[in-house]
Chain A
Amino acid sequence: MKPDQAEQNLRVIRTLMERSTLYRRALGPMMIWAGLVALVAAVVGWHWHVPGARGFISFWAVTCGVVVGGALWLARRQAVRDKEPFWSPATRRVTQAFLPAFVAAAIPTLLAWWWRLDITEDLVAYWAMLYGCALHAAGMFSPRALRRAGWLFIICGAIHMAYNNLSPHIAMGVIFGGLHIGGGVYLLATDKRSNAA
């Protein structure tokens, strides 16, 4: 065996190991966290009648920030506990998979906020469907259940767009709260394998 062949073999091994690593880090707890925050936010928003398009968008943007912050903390905590790098190749791939759909959701949201467009019901459907796309894309590098959850978000978003008969806050609670909690419980119950990222 020539030395350059040995080097190439090492490269192949490294690439295969990196590409095949599925992102599993704290997915169940993260989904349950997201679901609980969405449920609480939905009840608060509905009860306090958070007014107007800007109020609705700002309220849910803050909620999204809380969810993302908590999820990052959960992921970091597990990375520290398992003595793994937080920004692992799997984490990087999942983040990259999530980004396009998030940006696509952020654009109409910012426009609606800026021009005070009263499209909150439509926004809920867009958010759900684009979040479903993000989950589905991330599911290529994580357990298959995430792809199924992605489809459920897309279907629920489409149903909400077609019927539109729930308060936007309640719709957010039902879709984002219910599906996240359901998905989180399913992941915790079924995924017995290592949580390495």
Chain B
Amino acid sequence: MNPTPFQKLDRVIHETGRMAIMSLLAANAELSFTEIRNTLNMTDGNLAMHVRTLQQAGYVGVTKSFQDRRPRTTCALTAAGRTAFEKYIETLAEIVRQSQG
């Protein structure tokens, strides 16, 4: 089997938690920290750590604002994040195609 597609997998996205976060953000223009946490059943600390990693990679933008006088943190994919995620999915599909011959 050709090992190239495996090497192309983005290590930042290729982690269960971060892949799930990227999937949610790819399907929604933006999501609040609470919405992501509740959907993925993650702890605050775990989610914050993954979001920080994605933010440092330039894949996710974080905005802090106030809604009804309460602080609200929202996350959204950046253009680079969307491209990287599309590439990641394409690589996974390539691996599957290769295995099917």
Contact = CB atoms under 8 A, between A and B. Distances in A.
Given A20-B28, A21-B28, A13 B95 contact: no
Contact of A6 (B20, B23, B31, B96): B96
Interface of B: 6, 9, 14, 19-20, 23-24, 26-31, 39, 89, 92-93, 95-96, 98-100
A7 B98 CA distance: 11
A16 B100 CA distance: 25
A83 interface: no
Given A9-B19, A13-B19, A3 B24 contact: no
Chain A interface helix/strand/loop/mixed? helix
Contact of B20 (A3, A16, A22, A193): A16
Contacts, number: 56
Nearest to B25: A20
Given A1-B6, A1-B9, A193 B23 contact: no
Nearest to A90: B27
Contacts of B23: 12-13, 16-17, 20
A12 B18 CA distance: 12
A4 B100 CA distance: 10
